[in-house]
């Protein structure tokens, strides 16, 4: 399919959406690192020069997708936490339920975790000030939303809620690079399980990491 040049703002928005949808479908097939501007242009039916009229770089495309997937997750997370965290439990038990619910929710969204992992080291490079400002403002709003939600279920965290939310996203991105491990490493772990410091399952690895983080920031009682 070959697009004609958009003549109106409405047409431009349709084209932008089509490019984002194409990039999202690529992320269902490959990691962030393998998404190239050449392949995106080809799949979208646009020359690279034409695509640049809508997005300045592949990083700008992927950052916008990160913002979208993050907002979508945060819109769905309240219901997941309400179902997974019993408000009547003691703080430490609520913390364990919170870690379990977050780990399950994030593990079910591997693309979002992959984008978290690429955010600071890759995606926030090769972008203009305008794109960076828009992304950071959106990210700050998302952080505030998540902090409020976590604080609602575990108010004992106090000022530790925001650092925990930041750590959650960083940890999800970092662990997604290791879980599952590549075939050669998985074979090593099967031959010698004592070498498997990080588990092969993203959900389990996140649960352990988030659980330890929550215990670290939860105020001591007694």
% of the chain residues with pLDDT over 70: 95
Q: Which CATH number fits domain 1-55: 1.20.58, 2.60.40, 1.10.10, 1.20.1290?
A: 1.10.10
Mean pLDDT of the region 178-203:
84
Tell me the pLDDT band of 11, cut-offs 50, 70 and 90: confident
pLDDT tens-digit series, residues 26-50 = 999 999 999 999 999 999 999 988 9
The pTM score is 0.89
Fold (topology level) of 57-217: Tetracycline Repressor; domain 2 (1.10.357)
Break the chain into its structural domains and give their ranges.
1-55, 57-217
How far lies 76's CA from each of 99, 130, 145, 149, in Å?
A: 16, 29, 12, 11
pLDDT tens-digit series, residues 107-160 = 999 999 999 999 999 999 999 999 999 999 999 999 999 999 999 999 999 999
Cα gap 78→135, rounded to integer Å: 23
């Amino acid at each position: 399919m070959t697009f004609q040049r958009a003549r109106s703002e409405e047409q431009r928005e349709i084209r932008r959406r089509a490019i984002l949808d194409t990039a999202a479908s690529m992320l269902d097939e490959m990691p962030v690192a393998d998404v190239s501007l050449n392949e995106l242009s080809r799949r979208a039916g646009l020359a690279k020069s034409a695509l640049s009229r809508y997005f300045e770089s592949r990083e700008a495309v992927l950052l916008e997708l990160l913002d979208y997937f993050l907002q979508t997750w945060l819109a769905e997370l309240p219901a997941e936490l309400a179902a997974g965290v019993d408000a009547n439990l003691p703080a430490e038990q609520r913390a364990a339920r919170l870690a379990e619910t977050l780990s399950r929710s994030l593990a079910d969204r591997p693309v979002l975790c992959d984008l978290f992992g690429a955010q600071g080291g890759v995606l926030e490079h090769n972008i203009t000030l305008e794109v960076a400002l828009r992304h950071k403002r959106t990210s700050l709003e998302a952080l505030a939303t998540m902090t409020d939600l976590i604080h609602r279920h575990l108010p004992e965290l106090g000022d530790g809620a925001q650092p925990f939310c930041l750590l959650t996203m960083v940890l999800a991105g970092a662990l997604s690079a290791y879980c599952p491990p590549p075939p050669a490493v998985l074979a090593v772990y099967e031959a010698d399980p004592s070498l498997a410091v990080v588990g092969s399952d993203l959900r389990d690895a996140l649960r352990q990491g988030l659980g330890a983080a929550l215990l670290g920031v939860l105020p001591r009682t007694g």
